[in-house]
Amino acid sequence: MYSLIPFNLLEMIVIFILYLIISLSASILGAVAGLGGGVIIKPLLDFFGHFDLPTIGVLSAATVLAMSTMSLIKLSISRSEAKIDKTISLLLALGSITGGILGKFVFNYFAVSLGMLTGTALLQSVTLALLLTLLLFYFLKKDKLKSFVFENRMIIIMIGLSLGFLSAFLGIGGGPLNVAVLILFFSLNVRDAAFNSIFIIFFSQLSALLLIALTTGFTNYDLSMAGYMITGGVIGGLIGTNIAIRLSNKLIEKIFNAAILLIIFINLYNVVNLIMVH
């Protein structure tokens, strides 16, 4: 029996659904655990290989911006006990924006100007896997480690700058790095760190997209999936935040650790795949 729908159309429908599911699930996890979503979207889009690295960065940033916007709106109208330290988070965001510009410049230089797309992708996957492994060990041992409370504004901005540089170069939005820094350097619990991370992510992703809009524009990017992924980001942000405000610190931490472990395995697979193919 033959399908009434041509195969190529069926294939496109499957791809649309796939990218909607990716953005939705990443945004739900991102909103629940403060991951942002980019750290999940980036390696998954690398895995499927439908887009080049610059396009993946734009799609990820747009999805994460949609998620963080809806998450913050939901938090502002809910009666949750979420605590967002706007002074610290805004200073981190300020540093993150500056660092993000530098990180994107370095990324564009290697990936676009020098044409080292494969080498850059390999470096991103290896670095991300190593960073996330360190973060996982930190979270498993954090109760035995000392935390700090930095108050010097310049130091806070410099921490944000480092976060922004790494996040922009790796194309991940910075979520897990933000959460770890907020716990280690500002003694926040996991739940509050997750909400503050989303606050920081909103500004960093907004600035990243504005930078592209004001410089190269979006004409060189394949944004055919942008509408589906932004839709997933909006719905995921609402669902994830609604879940997060009802969860305990302990449960959020377990979800965070499980998500980090999954992302490590995806990145390791991408590393092996890149080496085998090239």
User: Confidence class of residue 7 from pLDDT cuts 50, 70 and 90?
Assistant: low
User: Confidence class of residue 5 from pLDDT cuts 50, 70 and 90?
Assistant: very low
On the CB side of 222, CA atoms within 13 Å amount to: 7
Sign of CA dihedral 152, 154, 155, 159: positive
| 27 pLDDT more than 70 | yes
Listed by start position, the domains of the chain span 7-277
pLDDT score recorded for residue 216: 85
Instruction: Provide the whole-model pTM.
Output: 0.87
Token pair recorded at residue 29 = 């996890």
Percent of the chain with pLDDT over 70: 96
Distance CA 72, CA 36 (A): 12
- Calculate the average pLDDT of the chain: 88
Question: What average pLDDT score do residues 6-33 get?
Answer: 88
pLDDT score recorded for residue 4: 46
pLDDT score recorded for residue 1: 38
Give residue 16's identity as a one-letter amino acid code.
F
Question: In this predicted model, what pLDDT tens digit does every residue of 53-66 receive, in sequence order?
Answer: 889 999 999 999 99
Distance CA 267, CA 263 (A): 6
Question: In this predicted model, what pLDDT tens digit does every residue of 176-200 receive, in sequence order?
Answer: 889 989 998 998 888 899 999 999 9
Question: What average pLDDT score do residues 164-181 get?
Answer: 86
Question: In this predicted model, what pLDDT tens digit does every residue of 111-145 receive, in sequence order?
Answer: 878 888 888 889 988 999 999 999 899 888 888 88
User: Confidence class of residue 278 from pLDDT cuts 50, 70 and 90?
Assistant: low
